[in-house]
Structure 1
Amino acid sequence: MKKRVSHIIALLAVLALVSCSTKKNTAFTRFYHSFTTRYNVYFNGIENYKEQIKTMENEYEDNFTDLIYMHPAQAYANPKDPQPTGSFDRTIEKCQKAIQLHSIKKKPRRNSKKMSDPKYRDYLKRDEFNPYIHNAWRLMGQAQYYKGEFLEAAATFLYISRHFTWMPDLVAESKLWQARCYIALGWLYEAEDILQKINNDKLPESQNNWFATVNADYLIHKGEYQKAIPFLETAIKSAPSKRQRIRLTFLLGQLYEKTQDPTRAYQTFGQVISMNPPYRTEFNARIKQTEVFSGKNIDKEVKKLTRMASRDRNKEYLDQIYYAIGNLYLSRKDTLKAMENYRLANQKSTRNGIEKAICQVTLGDLYFDRREYVDAQPCYAEALPQLKEDFPRYDLLSRRSTVLDELVVYAQNVELQDSLQNLAAMSEEERNKAIQKIIDDLIKKEKEEAENLKREEYLAQQQGPQFNSSNAAKNNATLISGDKSWYFYNKTMVSAGKTEFQRIWGSRKLEDDWRRRNKSGFSMSDFAEKTAGGGGEEGGAEFDENGMPVEEIPDSAETAAADDPHKPEFYLKQIPMTPEALETSNEVVAEGLFNMGLILKNKLEDYPAAIANFNLLEERFLENPYRLDVYYNMYLMYMRDGDEATAGIYRDKIRSTFPESPYAQAMADPHYLDNLRRMSTEQDSIYEATYAAYLENDNRTVHDNRAFMEQKYPLSPLMPKFLFLDALAHVGDKQYDQFKEGLRNLLERYPQADVSPLASTMLKGVAQGRQVAQGGGNLRGMIWKARLTNDTTTVFNDSVRATFTQDLNAPHVLLLVYATDSVSSNQLLFDVAKHNFTNFVVKDFDLEIMTFNEISMLVVKGFSNFEELSHYRRLLDNSETFRYPPGVKPIMISEDNFKKLLEGYSFEDYFLFLENNPQPTEPYEER
């Protein structure tokens, strides 16, 4: 009997399982799968989801120097930001399992008696009949969002909004989630479209708070902070956790600050402090209060910050405290006190990061505004590596830093040579005393640094790994930081000087007159053509029996002493003691003063400082080689200031002292100033016509236009380009000697022009026996002849071709290639991503922007073979919404062949391969 009962129970269980298949749609199967989804798979997923959300919100460290994110997950949109913790893979896996095992797509058996009921007919039209499965879809989309998979999350919520139409609250919520995914991706137009439509479609009341949250996020990303404030206030009230309420309240204070409402900002940051936040948040809220303080008396705030600085728990934040004190003084226009505290903030900083960088930028701006450029330079130089490219004013700061890097090199050269010359003018006894003092100071400083380092290491051992000793290491690395005395004895600085020399002057050959302006980056000896006889030895050199030059072996003891900053020989060898050495030192000073004047005039537009440098150059070196350029620049500056009388003095100097110069010839024209004004507009049209003539092999027009420009506008900034085209046109005339002479003329006159590196490469190639490619298309095809490396572009025919292969079954990529800076890379990336999202819901493609000098490309990856790529290409070409920007060329290529391109081959090599091995769909090879 017992056996019969057990058999019956087993049979019933089997029947129940069979009847619960998702291929059946009965009341029992719907109940079973709903129950199982909710209390089995979904339960495990939601528990992991809650745990990971809490971990992410509690452990993520916000960047309080900028607008903080509404949620840490948004940091995934910026790979350069610290990425949040928390893994949602288990949640996604559980949701996918629930959908796969328990989704009921089968239509139920129709009840003819109910067919007259519209609700019943609508019920039969549903795409899903598991009454709980929508929760799994929603949870999966949310987990994908918080994982940073915004595109996948958007696709999930799009699916929900299309396939659960009988649940209006769920559809509205999903559309809002979809908009938030678009916001994270930067697709603000698409997000705005959703938000406007859903608002106009009578948003369900249950979604009002969620709409406020998403709309606030959208308005903040759009920069409309005033409009975002009321929505953010609503979002704070409905925040799902205390940590989120604290974060959003802090963000609200930042918005009040952005909208110039310091009183409310101060109060809001006070609310953050009263919410018992984590200490780092509380600390930054107090710092922010000082930044927006609008009271009349700052003494109370300064004392509050000073007390904070005295607490041990704030040692790590001393830089921020002194920065905040500096801000208070700056708000009261007390620049000196502000700068004093900013400098103190930099000294007290124990970590490199955005906080220190902002302090350095602020201090650098103050130095820059005071025209103290040498002091501003290290502030910008140290700050920039810590800043992201989306930092406000990043481009301006980068340009300033680059200009000041160049300016400071010349300023330091002048300061160093003046110091060396002062030493040379001393008596031997005074000089030796001065050198010995330098050595003594060095030994003393090294001893102090060693003791400080030992003390820091000891404290680190006592206090554990939390103690930050990076400051000590940093101080030990820079032995002369802030030292106004001589700095060239420091090995670190000597090494840095060598690096800086190569950055400014390039890798130089040891040759005479290396410092002349026509030696920038090349030597004319590089262009000497090879001869059969060889030779080239300089007279007076001694050679061994093998013809090798005999070098004198220096004394090892003398060499060691000359390289040791603790020995007098190290300093004596740098002092210009001979007339020849003094002359060289004066050349460095003259060059430094001249280039400082040019930089101040052209790149900083500080005319008074530029005039002062040019005047000092004239006073110290009456016969300096830069007089012509100095006179012309002085003329331009005084004319711009409206001082025609003084400008006339320099015009007369040019015409009397340098009558054969291009400047004098141009100024001989009574309409010179009018020509100068017209030059900026006329030169562009003339150059365009010249370029077009070159492409059409109309070489006579090219030569004529170059001659016209040299006569009418000899000072045109486009003159190097005219000379370059003129030289290339001689190739079409088969006048190779004139071609080489034209390039040499270009390099001699304009060594720093943008076309000079290419001209230099051409001339070197000719000297090495390479043949020049002929025809006007030569210039047009440069982009395809360029190598995908960092090497200088070459336009010469190569005898070696890449060994490409054709495997249609191998993985392929699509390259959208264009000339760098001719197309907006971000816009192209956005357009292709939008096309992919619209046409491929399941399939995902990787997009990557790559840049190689003249060539840039968008790489579309994810095609397993050529056939898949061809299908994708047809959809892209025939899309109604996507259009190739002008100048973009699509190229289909296998991954293996693409790797060969990246190894240094050109697209021309690949095109030649395709000519002999055409792909099966020729219309799609080239557009």
Structure 2
Amino acid sequence: MALEQGRNSLNDSYQDNYWDILPIERMQISDEVILPGQSKNENFNRAEEKAVKAIQKHSMNIDGKEKNPQIDEAYLLLGKARYFDQRFVPALEAFNYILYKYPASDKINQAKIWREKTNIRLDNDELAIKNLKRLLDQEELKDQDLADATSMLAQAYLNTKSVDSAITQLEIAANATKSNDERGRYRFIQGQLYNTLGYKDSANIAFDKVIELNRKTPRIYMISAQLEKIKNFDYEHGDKLACLELLTDLEEDRENRPFLDKIYYQIGAYHLKNNSEKLAIKYFNKSLRERSQDKELKARDYQILGDISFDNSEYKEAGAYYDSTMNNLALNSKPYRIIKRKRDNLEDVIYYEGVAQVNDSILRLVNMPEQDKVAYFESLIETLKAKAEEEKEKQEKALNNNGLITVNNSATGASNAMAPRGGMPNRANTFYFYNPTTVAYGKNEFVKIWGDRPLEDNWRWSNKGNSNANNDLLNSNEVFANATEDELYNPQYYISKIPTDKKEIDSITKDRNFAYYQLGLIYKEKFKEYELAKSKFETLLKSNPEDRLILPSKYNLYKIYTELGQADEALIAKNDIISNFPDSRYAAILNNPESAVLEDKNSPENIYENVYNKQENQKYAEVISECDTYINAFDGEPIVPKFELLKATVSGRLYGLEAYSKAINYIAVTYANTPEGKQAQDIETNVLPKLQNQEFVSDSLANNYKVIFQFDNADAATISKFQETLDEVLKNIKYYNLSTSVDVYGPNTTFVVVHGLKNAQVAKTFNQLLTKEDQKKIKNPYFTISSPNYQIIQIHKNLEAYLSMDSN
């Protein structure tokens, strides 16, 4: 009885994943380590104790033979209890003991089957298949024993990816079992396996057998079988009306209320297949409102809604849906990483789409005739007046409701002690903040006008709120907030806010064009949304963009036309590039496509790698010069932020922390939505504050020192020759493992550094380590410095301050 109670609790707590092939046996395997003497379920612990007590007290082992026929059943109970408690090795021991000690037992076949179940749990699938096949060949199993053996053989075949063999064994098990619960499960798994093989007709036959069982089997199997059949529906040749009627019947059946989340999802999928997007969105949302426990289902609902929003260019909504999708997926799983990558890419889309929409709106207003501007803003003012009237009515209604509430409170005696004589309401109750209705209304209006603002100083600043670019420039909160009552309803006030300066308009146009270019690249490279990318590049080229954007946009359009199979358009774009830009890198690639397969020495990536290698060799001035050249040459391409970050790093090493800070700040602001911009922001926030300290530490606290030979305005050959001589001299020094390096300090100063000295006094008397002959070779002056202080002078370029301190 305890074993059955524990088994039932296992079944009740187990949640099947109907998005994957169901396991034959409902049992959740936990990775938690169980110590000796512990148990996951007290029922199994009790069953094991009873089995052990029966064996200890009632076993009659006489002359090596057991005389009590109940003892083999006690061992079988012991093995089952251990099996369900997920202690498989002790369970295997109990089943093997029956086979060894009780070969004539009437439970011998059950013991063999349970032993192979345990072997399957221990991942000994090949051994289980071998033993179960031998059992089926040697013994004439019937009824439940046959069902148990063949179902376990099917599980072993599934584990070894032998799907055909598993289907055959499940057919035998479904016919042999006495349990309709098991029969429904086996038939459903059969249908799932046929679907994995692509045999939809056979799968539907298996699902029909589950449906025929009706109330004889758990309803979840019947509902899932119906839904799986609908997933197999042929939308091209099938009867769509009959399919929709079936879904409607499932939805309206009161017995199906626990499964409405799955039914609504399938109805949504049906409408999505039929291009009824609004109905699909409605049912996916209804599925989510059912508060399903199926995280996979919720993740799919959110992901589909996110994809729909993305396709409709509603990027903020899509981002929110993808966030919810990730919350319902296993962290760092493959589906999670795919959605996370898409969500991260959306950050750039949201930013650039916002720029494009706002600037397009501004430019539309700029180019409007004066008469059209007046008409437009008069229409806007009419809308504002209507909203103001509506809000006024709401406020009056709220105040009236407040009065009613106060009077009612006084009349009912709920606050008689607080009410003045004469029945007048307490004046305190009419104060704004004492009325929850009015307070809630006020909060909503604040959020509508200002957005979700934190409680801080200067909260009204325009950069504190989220810009709303859905309509035009004049949706800016600041325009309304700063307007007087007269200005709010005066068209000329809004017209005066439209830019008129040519430089400002050119800047807006330039930003808009760059946003279109970036969007085209993102849609093409990151999302493979070629139609969207095509529309962005084509719109850009119609907007008279800067020269730097024309050629890469045309080349990207050529690649997109090729991907979309639009050969004529691709040929036109190709000829345009070759004829109008014959000396460009793109023309060279188009003229000789085979060379594009080989490594392009002039590609931005290879150029960057070459410049980076020069930085590794401390050719800092040369790197800065080349970075400036290539930043201009590749303006508008994704490689530019990499060159900027490399230039910032080299500037820091050559000119110090101040130059590095300025360069990092520039990257963080200018390229905020690129990986390099985000890296720069992280450096600015977390790294730069730690480098601000310029205080030198006491040499007595250090345990590593350097000897520095300083060269000013020396050529590379002189420095290299000195280092070679120094290396030869250091080989003659015993007891110390010394090495040298050449470190650039500034534009005109280079250090030759000796490393490996652990004592300050030894470092200061470095020349005394040398022999007299070696001292003649090394006559250059030197100074010593501890490793922490050397790091400080390289970061802050304050060598003079250190030397003056040292001399004092």
Measure the CA separation in 1 of the matches of 2:550 and 2:4: 71
Aligned to 2:119: 179
Conserved in 1, the CA contact under 8 Å of 2:578 and 2:587?
no
- Shift in CA distance, 161/259, structure 1 to aligned 2, threshold 3 Å: same
Give 3-state SS (helix, strand or coil) of 1:300's partner. helix
CA offsets, 1:752-778, max 9 Å, x none? 346646654444433454999xxxxxx
Aligned to 1:17: none
Aligned to 1:634: 554
Give 3-state SS (helix, strand or coil) of 1:73's partner. coil
Aligned to 2:45: 92
Aligned to 1:593: 516
TM-score by length of structure 1 reads: 0.49
Pairing partner for 1:195 from 116, 128, 131: 128
Amino acid in the other structure paired with 1:578: K
Conserved in 1, the CA contact under 8 Å of 2:362 and 2:498?
no
Conserved in 2, the CA contact under 8 Å of 1:747 and 1:759?
no
Q: After the TM superposition, which residues 602-751 of structure 1 pair with which residues of structure 2 at under 5 Å, given as runs?
A: 602-617=525-540, 619-620=542-543, 622=544, 628-629=548-549, 631-638=551-558, 641=561, 643=570, 646=573, 674=595, 677-679=598-600, 699-700=617-618
Pairing partner for 1:260 from 198, 216, 233: 198
Whether 1:291 and 2:254 are equivalent positions in the alignment is: no
Amino acid in the other structure paired with 2:244: V
Aligned to 2:384: 435
- Shift in CA distance, 221/390, structure 1 to aligned 2, threshold 3 Å: farther
Q: After the TM superposition, which residues 820-831 of structure 1 pair with which residues of structure 2 at under 5 Å, given as runs?
A: none
- Shift in CA distance, 734/609, structure 1 to aligned 2, threshold 3 Å: closer
Aligned to 2:290: 351
Amino acid in the other structure paired with 1:90: N
The CA deviation at 1:164 is 6.1
Pairing partner for 1:72 from 10, 20, 26: 26
CA offsets, 1:538-575, max 9 Å, x none? xxxxxxxxxxxxxxxxxxxx99x9499xx997999x97
Q: After the TM superposition, which residues 388-787 of structure 1 pair with which residues of structure 2 at under 5 Å, given as runs?
A: 388=330, 395-404=337-346, 406-408=348-350, 410-411=352-353, 414-415=356-357, 425-427=373-375, 428-437=377-386, 491=447, 562=481, 578-579=497-498, 589-590=512-513, 592-617=515-540, 619-620=542-543, 622=544, 628-629=548-549, 631-638=551-558, 641=561, 643=570, 646=573, 674=595, 677-679=598-600, 699-700=617-618, 752-753=674-675, 756=680, 760=684, 761-769=686-694
TM-score by length of structure 2 reads: 0.54
Higher-Rg member (1/2): 2
Amino acid in the other structure paired with 1:89: E
CA offsets, 1:599-629, max 9 Å, x none? 2122123344324323434545x466xx635
Measure the CA separation in 1 of the matches of 2:481 and 2:465: 24
Conserved in 2, the CA contact under 8 Å of 1:364 and 1:377?
yes
Measure the CA separation in 2 of the matches of 1:668 and 1:734: 40
- Shift in CA distance, 709/419, structure 1 to aligned 2, threshold 3 Å: closer
The CA deviation at 1:194 is 3.1
Measure the CA separation in 1 of the matches of 2:170 and 2:482: 64
CA offsets, 1:162-213, max 9 Å, x none? 896445747744542323324xxxxxxx333433553576676367644432
The CA deviation at 1:392 is 8.7
Q: After the TM superposition, which residues 29-428 of structure 1 pair with which residues of structure 2 at under 5 Å, given as runs?
A: 47-57=1-11, 62-74=16-28, 88-96=41-49, 98-99=51-52, 103=56, 135=73, 138-147=76-85, 150=86, 152-157=87-92, 160-161=95-96, 165-166=100-101, 169=108, 172-182=112-122, 190-198=123-131, 205=139, 209-221=147-159, 224-239=162-177, 241-275=179-213, 276=215, 277-293=217-233, 296-311=238-253, 320-321=262-263, 323-325=265-267, 335-337=274-276, 339-349=277-287, 350-353=289-292, 354-355=296-297, 357-359=299-301, 361=303, 380=322, 382-388=324-330, 395-404=337-346, 406-408=348-350, 410-411=352-353, 414-415=356-357, 425-427=373-375, 428=377
Amino acid in the other structure paired with 1:302: L
- Shift in CA distance, 418/681, structure 1 to aligned 2, threshold 3 Å: closer
- Shift in CA distance, 608/741, structure 1 to aligned 2, threshold 3 Å: same
- Shift in CA distance, 219/164, structure 1 to aligned 2, threshold 3 Å: closer
Measure the CA separation in 2 of the matches of 1:770 and 1:181: 64
CA offsets, 1:206-253, max 9 Å, x none? 676444323323444565543421222233345574333323322222
Conserved in 2, the CA contact under 8 Å of 1:257 and 1:265?
yes
Measure the CA separation in 2 of the matches of 1:671 and 1:181: 59
Give 3-state SS (helix, strand or coil) of 2:124's partner. helix
Measure the CA separation in 1 of the matches of 2:258 and 2:55: 54
Structure in which a larger fraction of residues adopt helix: 2
The CA deviation at 1:317 is 5.6
Conserved in 1, the CA contact under 8 Å of 2:285 and 2:301?
no
Measure the CA separation in 1 of the matches of 2:518 and 2:280: 31
Measure the CA separation in 1 of the matches of 2:592 and 2:669: 29
Conserved in 1, the CA contact under 8 Å of 2:665 and 2:681?
no
The CA deviation at 1:678 is 0.8
Conserved in 2, the CA contact under 8 Å of 1:632 and 1:651?
no
Conserved in 2, the CA contact under 8 Å of 1:743 and 1:759?
yes
- Shift in CA distance, 373/721, structure 1 to aligned 2, threshold 3 Å: closer
5+ long unaligned stretches in structure 1: 1-46, 80-85, 112-119, 183-189, 449-478, 480-487, 500-507, 516-557, 657-662, 773-927
Measure the CA separation in 2 of the matches of 1:685 and 1:103: 79
Conserved in 2, the CA contact under 8 Å of 1:215 and 1:228?
yes
The CA deviation at 1:433 is 1.2
- Shift in CA distance, 438/738, structure 1 to aligned 2, threshold 3 Å: closer
Amino acid in the other structure paired with 2:188: F
- Shift in CA distance, 495/255, structure 1 to aligned 2, threshold 3 Å: farther
The CA deviation at 1:50 is 1.1
Q: CA RMSD in A?
A: 6.4
- Shift in CA distance, 586/738, structure 1 to aligned 2, threshold 3 Å: closer
Amino acid in the other structure paired with 2:4: K
CA offsets, 1:783-823, max 9 Å, x none? xxxxxxxxxxxxxxxxxxxxxxxxxxxxxxxxxxxxxxxxx
Measure the CA separation in 1 of the matches of 2:330 and 2:265: 20
Conserved in 2, the CA contact under 8 Å of 1:436 and 1:568?
no
Give 3-state SS (helix, strand or coil) of 2:247's partner. helix
CA offsets, 1:639-660, max 9 Å, x none? 675747645756998999xxxx
Measure the CA separation in 2 of the matches of 1:686 and 1:160: 69
Conserved in 1, the CA contact under 8 Å of 2:251 and 2:260?
yes
CA offsets, 1:726-752, max 9 Å, x none? 987899999878877886897688763
Measure the CA separation in 2 of the matches of 1:97 and 1:138: 12
Conserved in 2, the CA contact under 8 Å of 1:598 and 1:610?
yes
The CA deviation at 1:342 is 1.8
Conserved in 1, the CA contact under 8 Å of 2:651 and 2:659?
yes
Measure the CA separation in 2 of the matches of 1:681 and 1:158: 69
Amino acid in the other structure paired with 1:153: F
Most deviating of 643-652 and 255-264: 643-652
Amino acid in the other structure paired with 2:554: M
5+ long unaligned stretches in structure 2: 34-38, 367-372, 398-439, 467-476, 563-569, 698-808
